[in-house]
Structure 1
């Protein structure tokens, strides 16, 4: 078995055995010197040589133990893991050894070395586990952005009522003096949109919170993120049934190529035609909403010389098309797109911003040492100008 594959107790035992052997050698040298001195021999030179041998032997032993100690450190013990000094350090710093050498290695010597193994024979204080205080979470979507596209206002009501213009017949024209003026026709209808609640719950144990205080903050963050995902999907795709919001895609105007416009041949062309459609409806589109796959395909568009149209791959380029930002989100189905004047088209009403509460008084939580976390928000969605939004497919 090599040193690299030995366990910590085996390495410690080997170190102790090595020093025991060297101490026995020193004792043997001292006993020999005492016997020869008793016979009247001149030992000045011999004592020096033997002392040099003893020091050399101890230095070799210390180097060996230092090597073992380094190998042991590489096995996972940190800088402060050693509860007692190693055998090499204890022996090198021993006053008994220094005095013994100063006396010419004459007489006997006894050195007490503290054990570096525990009573059970394990590595004891040599190996201490290291705790990383961080918590590794799963990846989060970086594209929860649709709230930023629309107008957001607070409300204190349980429903939103607004007047929506439904008729505009403009009869304005030049009129000769004395003739009857033409009447224009305008009409509005009352629309009501209810405030809906987005919410979810999570359980966590009292023990988990006590052992990892930051866990509560992590769960808080996860629950807020979960609400943001649900909100993102509702703003874009909510169908208005049950407790769902009525989102933008269900109310947007279907794409129809304006009369006289050149037929688009690429995805980029079709998006430009969508901008034209909204522009002819008297709105100014502010962005595009695409699936990341569709935006990827557009970014890879090349010219006849096989060069990228949008950017140099070695440089960072913002997601912009036809001078308008591109919001690439997986909430949008691949192959579909949306453009329009989002600020004018839709309004998001915040009745209650995200709230995260924690309680031990839910169901049998108290008996089971559990906590229940609840995250919720209340909001309403109103698409007031559907013509300002144009949707289509590639």
Structure 2
């Protein structure tokens, strides 16, 4: 029933109600009952009409889908006349205006309404695994407005304070300094994205920004630890730390870390952290005594990552089989520009292609005030005499 029929039915009904005053009570009750039944039918028809306009069926999915050209053709009067035994030898249908808009392409598979079951759309994106240990969080931070941080650093000297006897010269100490430099470098990356997608799915833009920021921090983490100090690169902690080689002995990796701490303490610094590869930390956690009991907690009650009253940071930025320990107060991360996210259409032909460029970058530097405050080396110890045997073998082969 369309809106014209509904209007006509209502006019007829209300016209009958106006004439009710000239009728008996029984006639009025009968007509009111009939009116109620008709109104109920009208309600059902209106609901059905609204559902059709909304494209909803009784089972809660779209049923008012667009017809394909083939379906529209076989339902046309021209086709029915041709197959109904008429004189017409052919049938022709012309699609124009709104008719053309209402017809789907000939390939039914691209019509989403063709699926018997509506797809289960899950808009949330599940992010892959991400590192949760950051080297820069172990170190104090500062800010700078320059592209180079220059600072004096003690190079060496002799501290020889001593007694002074009557008439003798007092002892003279000597301190030597050098000017060290920490270049402020840029870490950045970018990607192209569709403007329409970002406009239509705000969550996707937020996800991209998060992942891009994570990429910058991962590179930052690795460079603060292992940077080679080349031009435009960070001079990382490992590259500046004093090399440590454990003396020959029956040492395990936990022993080696303690000896490395002692090497730092020998220069009057207090180690505050150690960095290990997660696989090396797992090896330490799995250590057992002769009875087979775990030394560091149990699988049901693992201990916090600490050794020798010192926090252990495990990150895959640290090469396996190596460690770093040191006094965090003797280093500083300088921020010239914090992690920054920019989105621009003014990049090459982005405007014409409806694309945007997402750029994430930061500028920072690292200074180490005393290289002796950090120690790095291998977690394993060569067997006693192994170097001698190797040298002897090399000699005999030459």
Q: Give yes or no for TM over 0.5.
A: yes
Tell me if 1:362 matches 2:351.
Answer: no
1:302 aligned partner: 288
The answer for the alignment partner of 1:216 in structure 2 is 205
Normalized against structure 1, the TM-score is what?
A: 0.67
The number of residue pairs the alignment matches comes to 281
Matches within 5 A, 1:71-86: 83-85=56-58
Q: How does 1:166-315 map to 2 (within 5 A)?
A: 166-257=155-246, 263-315=249-301
Q: CA deviation at 1:142?
A: 2.3
Ranges in structure 1 where 5+ consecutive residues have no aligned partner? 1-80, 87-115
**C-alpha distance 130-180 of structure 1, shift in aligned 2 (>3 A):** same
CA RMSD of aligned residues (A): 2.5
Partner residue, 1:17: none
Whether the 8 Å contact between 1:197 and 1:377 is mirrored in structure 2 is yes
Q: Secondary structure at the match of 2:178?
A: strand
2:362 aligned with 1:377: yes
The answer to whether the 8 Å contact 2:152/2:177 transfers is yes
Question: 1:264 touches 1:273 (CA, 8 Å); kept in 2?
Answer: no
Q: What is the alpha-carbon distance in structure 1 between the residues aligned to residue 339 and residue 225 of structure 2?
A: 19
Structure-1 separation of matches of 2:169 and 2:119: 95
1:135 has 2:125 as partner: yes
Deviations 1:130-155 (A, max 9, x none): 32221233222223x10011121111
C-alpha contact (below 8 Å) 2:56/2:64 kept by paired residues: no
- State whether residues 82 and 126 of structure 1, in contact with CA within 8 Å, keep that contact through their aligned partners in structure 2: no
Deviations 1:205-238 (A, max 9, x none): 1122133221111111011101100100110011
For residues 278-317 of structure 1, the C-alpha deviation after alignment (integer angstroms, 9 at most, x for no partner) is 1111111111101111111111000111000000211242
Q: Is the 8 A contact 2:148 2:184 kept in 1?
A: yes
Alpha-carbon spacing, 1:150–1:276, altered in 2? closer, same or farther (3 Å): same
Alpha carbons of structure 1 residues 85 and 227: separation in structure 2 relative to 1, 3 Å: closer
Mapping 1:328-367, distance limit 5 Å: 328-344=314-330, 346-367=331-352
Residues 303 and 360 of structure 1: CA distance in aligned 2, closer, same or farther (over 3 Å):
same
Partners of 1:359 and 1:188 lie apart in 2 by 47
- Deviation, 1:118, is 6.5
2: CA distance between counterparts of 1:325 and 1:187? 33
Matching of residues 5-154 of structure 1 within 5 Å = 83-85=56-58, 127-143=117-133, 145-154=134-143
Report SS of the residue matched to 1:157: coil
How far apart, in 1, do the equivalents of 2:274 and 2:156 lie?
A: 28
Is residue 183–residue 232 contact of structure 2 (8 Å, CA) maintained in 1? no
Q: Structure 2 unaligned runs (5+)?
A: 1-53, 72-107, 380-398
More deviation, 203-212/125-134? 125-134
Look up the SS of the partner of 1:162 in the other structure.
strand
